[in-house]
Amino acid sequence: MKRRQFVGGLAAAASIAACAKQDADCADGTTAVASFEWSAVTSWPPKYPGLGIAVDNLAERVDKASNGRLKIKVYAAGELVPAFEVFDSVSRGTVECGHDASYYHKGKVDAAQFFTAIPFGLNYLEMNAWLYYGGGLELWRELYEPFNMVPFPCGNTGVQMGGWFNKEINTVDDLRGLKMRIPGLGGEVLRRAGGTPVTLPGSEIFTSLQTGAIDATEWVGPYNDVAFGLHKAAKYYYYPGWQEPGPTLEFYVNRDAWESLPADLQAIVDVSCQAINMDMNAEYMHGNANALQQLVDDPNIELRAFPEEVLEHLEDIANEVIAELVDRDPASAKIYASFDAFRQKSKLNQRISEQAFLETRL
Ligand code: CA
């Protein structure tokens, strides 16, 4: 049997399965079928609704579509590598692929934040429009090239919630002294508004809120928040999630592993990621609707909109924070120019379509 091209330096293996029928390459006239076994590391707890389940779904689809020629074994956070070492492990080629959120790579590659979410940025529909048709994905791939990885949009939670608060937010002054779990650029915005942003892993949020170690937390939205029990630790549930209007999750593949795949398996990975990108959002849309109903029926919970004055203040600060990022980082400048050009054009289109329709339906 003739050996094919996919012998790579990676630990995990490509192997040639027994010759199947119809191959000219095999001495007995059957086909050499290349098969691959990859490991995917993630930043999520095992089988976590939405974020984590999506990776299992991805592996299952790829397995079925490839007739078992590409098997991806999924590892939850900490099973193979810690939650925040997914990027480096895939970059180095320790494992073939990973799933997390690109804004976790802030500090290492600041411009990556634009591909998850920035405060007052793009919603789910707009992120997809920018990534697939507005040049966003090309910029993303260019950004990850020095890290020897190929990224794919792979999931979106949709607009998140502003979060759970144990004190009312009526004016901008109420943000002063507020101790809140809120990561990333959103956290920096809160800090400049006079608050104290805290970074906590998901597993510590509930206890911190319940004991009063923090006054508030953002997490995701009703579906994930109820699963964490956050509604039992705070009274006010504020919207909208200005800090994360349509966060995209990412799947990325080590470039050597990617290039070892034949074109049909590459297409299967590509199409499966696109399917999961939609599927995760559908799961959130459905799960959020159900969980929100449960919350509004709960007499101990008050659902509240942030006052306009507060949102305007936060948006002004967010623009300042992003302007500084763009000033000091050329990659962020290039990506933000593309991102913001689309955002500005999209505003009117969204206002007269989705936004106008939803307001009419109310
Ligand atoms: Ca969040």
Asked whether residue 177 carries a pLDDT value surpassing 70, the answer given is yes
Sequence-separated (6 or more) residues with CB below 8 Å from residue 334: 111, 139
Asked if residue 242 lies in contact with residue 306, where contact means CB atoms within 8 angstroms, the answer is yes
Q: What is the pLDDT of residue 23?
A: 38
To the nearest whole percent, how much of the chain has pLDDT over 70? Answer: 91
Q: What is the pLDDT of residue 21?
A: 37
264 DSSP β-pair partners = none
| Distance between Cα 271 and ligand 1 center (Å) | 27
Q: Where are the beta strands (DSSP E) in the chain?
A: 14-20, 31-42, 70-75, 97-100, 149-156, 163-165, 179-181, 196-198, 216-217, 236-239, 248-254, 302-305
Q: What is the pLDDT of residue 25?
A: 54
**Band (251; pLDDT cuts 50, 70, 90):** very high
Closest CA to 283 of 60, 42, 53: 53
Could you count the other beta carbons within 10 Å of the beta carbon of residue 179?
17
Q: HSE, CB side, 13 Å, CA atoms: give it for residue 238.
A: 20
| Distance between Cα 104 and ligand 1 center (Å) | 12
Mean pLDDT for the stretch of residues 202-214: 92
Q: What is the pLDDT of residue 32?
A: 67
Q: Is the dihedral of CA 141, 142, 145, 147 positive or negative?
A: negative
Work out whether strand 236-239 and strand 196-198 pair parallel, antiparallel, or are unpaired. Answer: unpaired
Token reading at 214 = 């923090």
Asked whether residue 249 carries a pLDDT value surpassing 60, the answer given is yes
Q: What is the pLDDT of residue 241?
A: 98
Comparison of pLDDT for 201 and 248, the residue scoring more: 248
Q: What is the pLDDT of residue 296?
A: 97
- φ/ψ region of 212 (left if φ > 0, alpha if ψ in -120 to 50, else beta) reads left
Q: What is the pLDDT of residue 14?
A: 53
Q: What is the pLDDT of residue 28?
A: 59
Asked whether residue 27 carries a pLDDT value surpassing 70, the answer given is no
| Distance between Cα 163 and ligand 1 center (Å) | 8
Q: Which CATH number fits domain 160-242+299-327: 1.20.120.160, 3.40.190.10, 2.30.40.10, 3.40.50.11540?
A: 3.40.190.10
What is the tens place of the pLDDT at every residue in 40-96? 999 998 999 999 999 999 999 999 999 999 999 999 999 999 988 999 999 999 999
Q: Do the two domains 32-157+246-285 and 160-242+299-327 of this chain adopt the same fold?
A: yes
Asked whether residue 20 carries a pLDDT value surpassing 50, the answer given is no
Q: What is the pLDDT of residue 217?
A: 98
| Distance between Cα 52 and ligand 1 center (Å) | 15
Asked whether residue 164 carries a pLDDT value surpassing 80, the answer given is yes
Mean pLDDT for the stretch of residues 200-212: 89
What is the tens place of the pLDDT at every residue in 296-323? 999 999 999 999 999 999 999 999 999 9
Asked whether residue 190 carries a pLDDT value surpassing 50, the answer given is yes
Asked whether residue 289 carries a pLDDT value surpassing 80, the answer given is yes
**Band (24; pLDDT cuts 50, 70, 90):** very low
**Band (199; pLDDT cuts 50, 70, 90):** confident
| Distance between Cα 14 and ligand 1 center (Å) | 37
Q: What is the pLDDT of residue 8?
A: 42
| Distance between Cα 97 and ligand 1 center (Å) | 23
Q: What is the pLDDT of residue 9?
A: 41
What is the tens place of the pLDDT at every residue in 93-145? 999 999 999 999 988 999 999 999 999 999 999 999 999 999 999 999 999 99
| Distance between Cα 330 and ligand 1 center (Å) | 26
Q: What is the pLDDT of residue 88?
A: 98
Asked whether residue 34 carries a pLDDT value surpassing 70, the answer given is yes
| Distance between Cα 74 and ligand 1 center (Å) | 23
For all residues of the chain together, what is the average pLDDT? 92
| Distance between Cα 98 and ligand 1 center (Å) | 20
| Distance between Cα 145 and ligand 1 center (Å) | 27
Q: Which CATH number fits domain 32-157+246-285: 3.40.50.10860, 3.40.190.170, 3.30.1370.100, 3.30.1280.10?
A: 3.40.190.170
Please state the domain extents for the chain: 32-157+246-285, 160-242+299-327
| Distance between Cα 16 and ligand 1 center (Å) | 43
